[in-house]
Every structure is written in structure tokens, then in C-alpha cells.
């Protein structure tokens, strides 16, 4: 009975070994497939977003052109009357056949001291004219001309544009700069065709810089009014089959006000992109909701994972397909030649790095199977095999994590979660987790040098653990079993972390390149393992924390990596 139990125990160990090896390979392959498909969809979505933004900017620039043309027309005149303005609008509307261009108007610029003389002059031709709403202030911008006159229930003539804060700010900025300004969402008095969800484009005839040359009879602003719904609906009409939008106006207090949405109320889709656009003094936040939501992608990935566990042959066959998908994905990149070169280097290094632990796992499995058949497997053998298998699986785990982080960086999904913690606690935890890697180093654990005992920082703890792990792992790899020293200093609200070894050092020409993807400082993958991603990922993390990283090294004398980060970055 005892022998029978031992046989089943040994068989269970073998099953676990095979499961761990197969699972590791299958996860890597399924992830590669998933990422390739996801990147394709991401490229398509990015293209749609850029085209739709271009369409929006093109449309609003057309309206600015109309205002600029009207401004030029006004400057050439000595004076203007209702008939001249009507004739100009008739020619303008024939030239620009645009559906949501409702009309154009002119608001006069008045100061408080000019108010009486202006009203006296205009009452000579229009005795019923008055400025409304009435108020006592330094500036007035009454509407003098408006075409077509039928767009309101009753004439808007005399309406003071300075009576509303958003209009007033846009008018003042337009006069200061000579540029076109947008009021943002405003309310429209006596509206017939406009809803409250509307905005004005405003351009000054003259500005402060040329005020001395102002023709006092034509000193004011041209404006045109639009509704957000009609404007955005027409701007993005060509993309309605592919993507939906929500547009928010960003107010001065950074609050967001929804001004347009094409997303039906009964449809719920995740927003996967955001863009901020600044135009004519206003900022808009646009949320994009692509209609292609990768239906079936997760089920396909799960199917590939199951097939991979069932057959080693299919794993390698599907891996080849994933590589082809990666090639197709790379074709979408702007810098094709550079991307293809990086891909080839990545595949070469990855293939070599994967082959080493997989070959070791295969040999251990064969040797273990042989011992079981010969009934010569001892507990010591089992412990030895399990330890070797654990090391190889840990090595595969590092490779998969590096590849995963690289993909997240490329797709903008490399997430951060900032919190306050004691940096020295994190260093101690990292030492404890890496103690197996320090066994062959004199003194076993790195020596800690610091003038302080506690530094509270506001960083991403998990990502900073990656930074420490990558730097210490490099010191183990390239330090040639020399002592490792880690130092922490505090200088002008910045924390400086250094990791030193006395190993082979880095060639001066390679020191600037080692923070790039797949760079290995001229060291062959056959000599020292690794994908060349650790320092690249470290650089990205340090940059997010508004810090910098650099290295000081001499060949044969060792290397020291420095990381300098603000104690409390302004995220």
C-alpha cells in the first residue's frame, strides 16, 4: 500500500510539472494573440478619432473664414447701413451654402461716455431703437445689424451682448487679441430657431493695437450664432456608423457641461478614448464610444488557451500565427522600418529567452519520467526537480510580465495608483522578496546606505517596487557576484536612490541607449539572459513620477544607477 501511494504521489508531481509548463506557454501565446487583435482595433479607433477631430476643426475654421471675410469687408467701408449689410449677407449666403449657418450680425462697441451721443445719432434714422436690457456699466455691445431678420420672433436689435458674462468675456478677448473667440454655451433671448444649447463666434473689427485708426462709425464686432446639436451632428455626420461622441464644455472652474451627445439613451457602451480640444478660447472634452467593441475577442482567446493546453503542436502553430498577426499590426505604425526592426529584435530575443527555460523544463520532465519508470526517484530528487522547475517558471513569469508591461506602455494602458508610504519599508520588502537572487553575492543581501531612517513619499508603490527590482536584478546579472550597495539621500524635496555594483561596467557609447527597448548594452543574449525591457520600463515609471534616471559607469569598475524623483510629484 505504501508503494502504491508513493507511485500516485510521484504521478501527481509529474502531472503538476506538465500542467505548469503547458499553462505558461499557453498563457504567453494567448496573450500575444489578444494583444495583436486589440492593437488592430486600437489603430482603427485612433484613425477614426483623428479623422473626426479634423472634420470638426475644418468645419469651425470655415466659419472663422466667414467672420474674417466680413471683418475685411467692414474695414474697407467708411460707414455701413442696413441696406449695405443686407446686400453683403445675400452675397455671403450664396457663396457659403452651409446648412447650420443661420446668419450673421454686427454689435457696436460703446463706452459709457459715448452712449448718449451714439443713441442721439442712431435715433435720427431709427427713433424706436433702444439698448436692452438696461444697466449701468462701462462697456456696451448692442446689436446694430442682423441678417436674416426673420430668425427671431421679434428683432434682436439693441440687445446688449455685454449683459451676459460669457458673451462679455468673449467680446473683450476678441478686442484685445484680434482673434476669433467662442462664447461657450449661452442662452438666446427671443429665440425662434435656436435652442438654449447654442454658442457665438465673435471677431472684433478693430483691436487695442490699432485703436487710433478706428473708424468710429464702424467700431465693433461681427458674430454668428450656432447650436451645438446641429454643429456637431453635421461635423461628424460621415462617422456616425463607426463611432459615437459625447462633447463637454470645460468651464473656467474645470467643471464639465454636456453640450452634445450622439449616444442613444438606450445604448450603453464603455468610453475608451478622451481628447481635449482648445479652439477660439474654449476647451472641449470629447469622449469617444466606438461601435466596434471587439465582440468575441475574449472567447477566442480562451479557446486558444484551451487548445494550447491540449496540444504542444498547436501551441507552436498558433504562436506562428500570432507572430504573423504581430507583423500585420506593425504595418499600422507610422514608422514602419523602425517598428519592423524592433519587432525582429524582440522576436529573436524572446524566442531565445523562452527556449532556455522551456528546454530546461522539458529535460527535467524527461529525466523525472525516466526515474519514475526505473523506480529510483528519491525525495531529494523530487525537491531538486521542484526547485529547478520553480526557477524556470519564475523566469517565464518575468518574461511574460515584461511583455505585458511593454504592451500596456505602447497602448497607453500602463496604469498607476499613487499613495503615501515609507520608502524604507518598500526597500526592505523588496530585499526579502529577492533573497533567493542574492544567495551567490558576498554578504547575501545588498548593503543599505542612508543618512535618514524614514522618508514618506507619494508615489505608486507597486511601480516603484518594479524600479527597485529591475535595478537590483541588473546589479545581480552584471555585477559578477560583486557586493551590491543601495543608497538613499534627500535633496531639495527630491529623493535620490542609487544602486551600485563592482561588476563589468557599461561601455560609454552604450550608456545613453540602455533605456531604450530591447537594448542590452552590446551583451549577447547567449551570455546573459533578458529581453532588454527592464530599464525601458523603469525609465517610463520614473518619467511618470516627474523624475529622471541616469547611470555612471566605467568598464571593469562597475556601474551606479541613479533615480531622482520629487518626494511629492505634482500629478
Distance of alpha carbon 464 from alpha carbon 176, whole angstroms:
48
State the DSSP string of 388-423.
Answer: HHHHHHHHHHHHHHHHHHHHHHHTT-----EEEEEH
Task: Determine the pLDDT at residue 422.
Answer: 93
Cβ burial, residue 174 (10 Å; 0-12/13-18/19+): buried
State the DSSP string of 93-132.
Answer: HHH---TT---EEEEE-EEGGGHHHHHHHHHTT-TT---B
Distance of alpha carbon 204 from alpha carbon 186, whole angstroms:
19
Distance of alpha carbon 42 from alpha carbon 156, whole angstroms:
49
Nearest to 179 by CA among 155, 208, 145: 208
Nearest to 142 by CA among 155, 161, 168, 129: 161
Q: Give the side-chain half-sphere CA count within 13 A for 307.
A: 15
pLDDT in tens, 86-114: 888 888 877 665 555 667 899 999 999 98
Nearest to 517 by CA among 360, 394, 335: 335
Distance of alpha carbon 244 from alpha carbon 121, whole angstroms:
52
Q: How far apart are the first and last CA of the chain?
A: 66
Residue pair 534/517 in contact by the 8 Å Cβ criterion: no
Nearest to 443 by CA among 405, 479, 468: 479
Distance of alpha carbon 246 from alpha carbon 235, whole angstroms:
13
Task: Determine the pLDDT at residue 76.
Answer: 84
Task: Determine the pLDDT at residue 98.
Answer: 57
Task: Determine the pLDDT at residue 332.
Answer: 47
- The set of cell numbers assigned to 545 is 513620477
Distance of alpha carbon 75 from alpha carbon 222, whole angstroms:
12
What's the Cα-to-Cα distance from 493 to each of 427, 489, 566, 569, rounded to whole Å?
Answer: 19, 10, 6, 10
Nearest to 569 by CA among 519, 494, 498, 496: 494
Task: Determine the pLDDT at residue 459.
Answer: 94
Characterize the bridge pairing of strands 198-204 and 181-182. Answer: antiparallel
- The set of cell numbers assigned to 549 is 534616471
Q: Give the side-chain half-sphere CA count within 13 A for 62.
A: 15
The ranges of the chain with pLDDT < 50 are: 1-12, 14-15, 192-194, 294-295, 312-324, 326-327, 329-334
Nearest to 183 by CA among 232, 227, 145, 245: 227
- The set of cell numbers assigned to 35 is 494583444
Nearest to 397 by CA among 338, 357, 431: 357
For each of the domains in the chain, give its residue range(s) and CATH number, in order of start.
Answer: 2-55+295-410 (no CATH), 77-232 (3.30.450.350), 240-290 (no CATH), 418-566 (3.30.565.10)
- The set of cell numbers assigned to 15 is 502531472
DSSP single-letter state for residue 374: T
Nearest to 49 by CA among 493, 323, 505, 412: 412
The residues, any chain, with a CB within 8 Å of residue 56's CB and separated by 6 or more, are 232, 235, 236, 277
Residue pair 130/143 in contact by the 8 Å Cβ criterion: no
Q: Which helix or strand (DSSP H or E) is residue 549 part of?
A: strand 548-554
The residues, any chain, with a CB within 8 Å of residue 459's CB and separated by 6 or more, are 418, 419, 421, 545, 565, 569
Distance of alpha carbon 384 from alpha carbon 371, whole angstroms:
13
Distance of alpha carbon 170 from alpha carbon 165, whole angstroms:
9
Question: Dihedral of the CA atoms 350, 355, 358, 363 (nearest 10)?
Answer: -170
Distance of alpha carbon 16 from alpha carbon 26, whole angstroms:
15
Task: Determine the pLDDT at residue 481.
Answer: 79
- The set of cell numbers assigned to 510 is 552604450
Task: Determine the pLDDT at residue 477.
Answer: 82
Distance of alpha carbon 469 from alpha carbon 560, whole angstroms:
15
Distance of alpha carbon 399 from alpha carbon 401, whole angstroms:
6
Residue pair 196/105 in contact by the 8 Å Cβ criterion: no
pTM: 0.47
Secondary structure of 235-263 in HEC code, one letter for each residue? HCHHHCCCEEEEEEEECCCCCEEEEEECC
Amino acid at each position: 500500500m505504501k508503494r502504491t501511494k508513493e507511485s500516485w504521489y510521484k504521478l501527481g508531481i509529474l502531472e503538476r510539472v506538465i500542467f505548469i509548463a503547458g499553462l505558461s506557454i499557453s498563457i504567453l501565446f494567448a496573450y500575444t494573440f489578444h494583444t495583436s487583435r486589440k492593437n488592430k482595433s486600437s489603430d482603427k479607433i485612433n484613425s477614426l478619432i483623428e479623422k473626426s477631430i479634423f472634420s470638426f476643426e475644418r468645419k469651425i475654421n470655415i466659419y472663422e473664414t466667414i467672420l474674417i471675410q466680413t471683418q475685411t469687408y467692414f474695414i474697407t467701408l467708411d460707414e455701413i447701413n442696413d441696406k449695405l449689410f443686407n446686400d453683403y449677407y445675400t452675397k455671403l449666403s450664396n457663396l457659403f451654402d452651409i446648412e447650420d449657418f443661420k446668419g450673421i450680425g454686427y454689435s457696436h462697441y460703446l463706452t459709457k461716455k459715448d452712449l448718449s451721443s451714439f443713441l442721439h445719432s442712431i435715433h435720427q434714422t431709427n427713433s424706436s431703437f433702444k439698448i436692452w436690457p438696461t444697466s449701468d456699466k462701462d462697456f456696451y455691445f448692442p446689436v446694430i445689424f442682423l441678417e436674416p431678420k426673420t430668425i427671431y420672433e421679434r428683432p434682436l436689435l439693441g440687445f446688449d451682448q455685454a449683459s451676459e458674462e460669457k458673451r462679455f468675456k468673449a467680446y473683450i478677448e476678441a478686442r484685445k487679441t484680434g482673434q476669433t473667440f467662442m462664447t461657450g454655451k449661452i442662452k438666446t433671448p427671443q429665440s425662434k430657431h435656436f435652442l438654449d444649447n447654442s454658442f457665438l463666434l465673435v471677431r472684433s473689427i478693430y483691436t487695442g493695437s490699432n485703436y487710433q485708426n478706428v473708424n468710429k462709425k464702424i467700431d465693433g464686432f461681427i458674430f454668428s450664432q450656432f447650436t451645438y446639436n446641429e454643429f456637431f451632428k453635421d461635423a461628424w455626420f460621415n462617422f456616425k456608423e463607426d463611432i459615437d461622441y459625447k462633447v463637454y464644455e470645460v468651464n473656467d472652474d474645470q467643471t464639465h457641461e454636456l453640450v452634445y451627445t450622439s449616444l442613444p439613451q438606450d445604448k450603453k457602451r464603455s468610453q475608451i478614448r478622451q481628447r481635449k480640444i482648445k479652439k477660439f478660447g474654449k476647451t472641449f472634452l470629447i469622449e469617444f464610444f466606438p461601435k466596434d467593441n471587439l465582440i468575441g475577442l475574449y472567447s477566442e482567446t480562451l479557446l486558444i488557451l484551451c487548445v494550447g493546453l491540449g496540444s504542444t503542436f498547436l501551441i507552436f502553430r498558433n504562436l506562428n500565427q500570432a507572430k504573423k498577426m504581430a507583423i500585420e499590426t506593425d504595418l499600422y505604425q507610422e514608422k514602419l522600418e523602425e517598428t519592423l526592426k524592433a519587432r525582429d529584435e524582440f522576436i529573436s530575443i524572446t524566442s531565445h529567452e523562452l527556449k532556455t527555460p522551456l528546454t530546461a523544463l522539458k529535460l527535467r520532465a524527461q529525466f523525472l519520467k525516466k526515474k519514475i519508470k526505473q523506480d529510483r526517484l528519491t525525495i531529494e530528487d523530487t525537491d531538486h526537480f521542484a526547485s529547478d522547475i520553480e526557477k524556470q517558471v519564475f523566469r517565464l513569469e518575468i518574461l511574460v510580465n515584461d511583455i505585458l508591461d511593454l504592451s500596456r506602455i505602447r497602448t497607453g494602458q500602463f496604469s498607476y495608483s499613487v499613495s503615501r508610504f515609507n520608502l524604507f519599508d518598500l526597500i526592505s520588502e523588496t530585499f526579502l522578496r529577492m533573497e533567493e537572487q542574492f544567495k551567490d553575492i558576498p554578504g547575501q543581501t545588498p548593503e543599505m546606505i542612508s543618512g535618514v531612517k524614514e522618508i514618506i513619499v507619494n508615489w505608486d508603490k507597486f511601480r516603484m517596487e518594479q524600479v527597485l527590482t529591475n535595478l537590483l536584478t541588473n546589479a545581480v546579472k552584471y555585477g559578477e557576484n560583486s557586493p551590491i550597495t543601495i543608497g538613499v539621500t534627500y535633496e531639495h524635496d527630491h529623493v535620490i536612490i542609487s544602486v551600485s555594483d563592482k561588476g563589468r561596467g557599461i561601455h560609454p557609447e552604450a550608456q545613453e541607449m540602455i533605456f531604450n527597448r530591447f537594448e542590452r548594452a552590446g551583451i549577447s543574449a547567449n551570455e546573459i539572459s533578458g529581453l532588454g525591457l527592464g530599464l525601458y520600463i523603469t525609465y517610463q515609471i520614473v518619467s511618470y513620477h516627474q523624475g529622471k534616471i541616469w547611470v555612471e559607469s566605467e568598464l571593469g569598475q562597475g556601474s551606479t544607477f541613479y533615480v531622482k524623483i520629487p518626494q511629492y510629484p505634482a500629478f
